[in-house]
Amino acid sequence: MQIRIEDRLLEKYPDAHIGFLVAHVIVKKLDPFVESLKQGLQSHLQEQGILATNFAVHPAIARWRTIYEEDFHVKPKAYRSSIESLIKRVVTGKELWNICTIVDVYNCCSLLSLLPMGGYDLKKVSGDIQIRFGKTAETFQGLGEREAVDVQPDHVVYADEAKVLCWLWNHKDSAKTCIDETTESVIFFIDGFDYAQVHDALKQLRENLEKIGCSPLESGILNRDCPEIAITPR
């Protein structure tokens, strides 16, 4: 399997760094370690100076808001990057969704690193994965959505050879590749614009997955210097 960032995307976003991690996972409903991570998230954000009154202007969110508004031509308050959605939820006093241990742990790592993260069941992925611009007549149906949306040529997506996995870069994941109780292998992605920050987030994700009984297998970072990587099918 190949993972690749489209050349046109790297021309427009030359400082993009996309981290990936493949792991064998054990999916549970709850785990004490993950629940303890959740309890410290609001305090962590407060320590970074991120509050309900100012989160939208924090650099971790502001760059994505600019991309969504100026490049994707969508309203950033209606279509939020995944990291903004998570931050907004926590700083306004709401608990993270209890989905499953694997999704919950990468959501926690996303908040701890202030970087968008996603995860896809590898058994549900068809062929190679690309991070690219949308194609004409392409559609996407997200988790929890009843109807598909039209993907525009200026929208960034994650896609395999048959479908879009994630729309508007990291706004929403597809229902077709979601992690559930049958999932055994997952590929995680981390979106960022600073190599060291993505590297550190990968390390943190790997360590926290190990603490809940998962087995990280391989990882790396895609960017201008390394736009394509082959991974071993799992």
The count of C-alpha atoms lying within 13 angstroms of the C-alpha of 55, restricted to the half-sphere facing its C-beta, is 22
The string over 106-122, giving b where at least 16 C-beta atoms fall within 10 Å of a residue's C-beta and e elsewhere, is bbbbbbbbbbbbbbbbb
Share of the chain above pLDDT 90, in %: 94
Q: Sorting pLDDT into bands at 50, 70 and 90, what band is 103?
A: very high
With a cut of 80, say whether residue 233 has pLDDT above it: no
CB-based contact 112:142 (threshold 8 Å): no
pLDDT of residue 145: 86
Please give the average per-residue pLDDT across 107-113, as a whole number: 98
Closest CA to 74 of 144, 154, 183: 154
pLDDT of residue 200: 98
What is the value of pTM for the model shown? Answer: 0.96
pLDDT of residue 61: 96
pLDDT of residue 146: 83
Q: What is the average pLDDT value for the chain, to the nearest integer?
A: 96
User: How does pLDDT run across 54-93, given as a tens digit for each residue?
Assistant: 999 999 999 999 999 999 999 989 999 999 999 999 999 9
pLDDT of residue 194: 98
With a cut of 90, say whether residue 159 has pLDDT above it: yes
Show the DSSP H helices in the chain as ranges.
7-12, 32-39, 41-47, 59-66, 82-91, 101-113, 195-211
- 26 burial type by CB count under 10 A (0-12 exposed, 13-18 middle, 19+ buried): middle
Domains located in the chain, CATH noted: 2-230 (3.50.40.10)
User: How does pLDDT run across 195-219, given as a tens digit for each residue?
Assistant: 999 999 999 999 999 999 999 999 9
Q: Which residues contact 221 (CB under 8 A, 6 or more apart)?
A: 17, 18, 19, 20, 195, 198, 199, 202
